[in-house]
Amino acid sequence: MKKNIIGVIPPIITPVDEQERVDEKGLRRLIQHCVEHKIHGIFIAGSNGECMALTQKERDRAIKIAIEECGDKTPLIAGCMDSSTQRVIENIKRFEAMGGKTAVVTPVFYSRHASQKETVRHFEEISRNTEADLMIYNIPMFTGLNLLPETVFEIAKIDKVIGIKDTSGNYPQFIRLLEHFRGTDFLVHQGSTSLAVPSMLMGADGYVPSLAPLFPEVHRKVYEYGRAGNIEQAVKWGEILDGVCRLYPMAKSQTSSTKYAMSKLGFLDWRVIRPTEPITAEEMAKIDAHIEKYREYAAIPE
């Protein structure tokens, strides 16, 4: 297998209307914007995309729109995670029927995890019952289970499993993944943007930053200089990236701050799905001022 899902792969937001239905025009324009600004791929229906807040119908609709819009222009991965193995299998089968190729799967959530082995069995059963490629998604703050490197090594042996997005924030653990899979076709992506620079310098295949559509150049430079081993330039652009990301806690909900920031692109709304804490006027003003500070790097129309 040739690695083709590499680089900056943002978990894009899902714009919605007043009835919390997917804003198709806004979502298509967001994907077009990412392609135009040479972002390397799209992650639809991730945590940042409010995948578990959408109804099943609207979640499937967002994925279908993304598949159609990405076409052959850019790689697409889609969140198919859920609270049981069978639910994930059903999600992936619908994804496959739409033409999807690579499904992102977490350990199950809303569950009393008894062992690491249950997630190995989870992937084994999914692999037996679907045809899509599978990417492991380790995000313990949402699943209640941190996949240990040894567990990842075991899951990686399962047919159709092609890589991992690690959002544990545990850098020593991430380094173990890089060392183990170095020289193989297995993809290793950093899910914690704060660890992007050292991860790229150490050979990660990419990272998954939610603000990439708004600041595409900054995110591309971190990837490009990091992969090239240019420490000086990677650190320079990494400092800018760290500055940009300080807007995340400027609203009570990171989803709210991210969606509001994305609305500055001019073609989608900042509305979040209930019951997420909506952004306030005071929080908007803080984010506006912060974006203005980094305006030269933002892909905002004049």
Show Cβ contacts of residue 273 under 8 Å, excluding neighbours closer than 6 positions.
16, 20, 50, 53, 54
Determine, yes or no, domain membership for 276.
Answer: no
- Do 213 and 31 form a contact (C-beta atoms < 8 A)? no
Segment 110-113 long-range contacts (CB within 8 Å, at least 24 positions apart): 110/83, 111/83, 111/144, 113/143, 113/144, 113/145
For 163-185, the pLDDT digits (tens) are: 999 999 999 999 999 999 999 99
d(CA 217, CA 238): 12
Question: Domain span at residue 20?
Answer: 7-215
In a domain, 291, yes or no: no
Longest dimension (CA), the chain: 54
Inter-residue contact 123 to 160 (CB < 8 Å): no
Does the residue 71 lie in any domain?
Answer: yes
Q: What is the mean pLDDT of residues 220-240?
A: 98
Instruction: Indicate the pLDDT class of residue 66, thresholds 50, 70 and 90.
Output: very high
Find all residues with CB under 8 Å of 233, minimum gap 6, and list them: 221, 225
Q: How many helices (H) and strands (E) does the chain have?
A: 12, 8
CATH of the domain at 26: 3.20.20.70
Asked if residue 254 is part of any domain, the answer here is no
In a domain, 285, yes or no: no
pLDDT tens, position by position, 9-23: 999 999 999 999 999
In this prediction, residue 301 carries a pLDDT of 86
Q: In this structure, is residue 165 part of a structural domain?
A: yes
Domain count, the chain: 1
Element (H, E) at 256: helix 254-263
Q: Quote the CA–CA distance of 90 and 153 in Å, as a whole number.
A: 25
Q: Give a yes or no: residue 230 inside a domain.
A: no
Q: Is residue 228 part of a domain?
A: no
The amino acid at residue 280 is T
Query: Mean pLDDT, to the nearest integer, of 72-101?
Result: 98
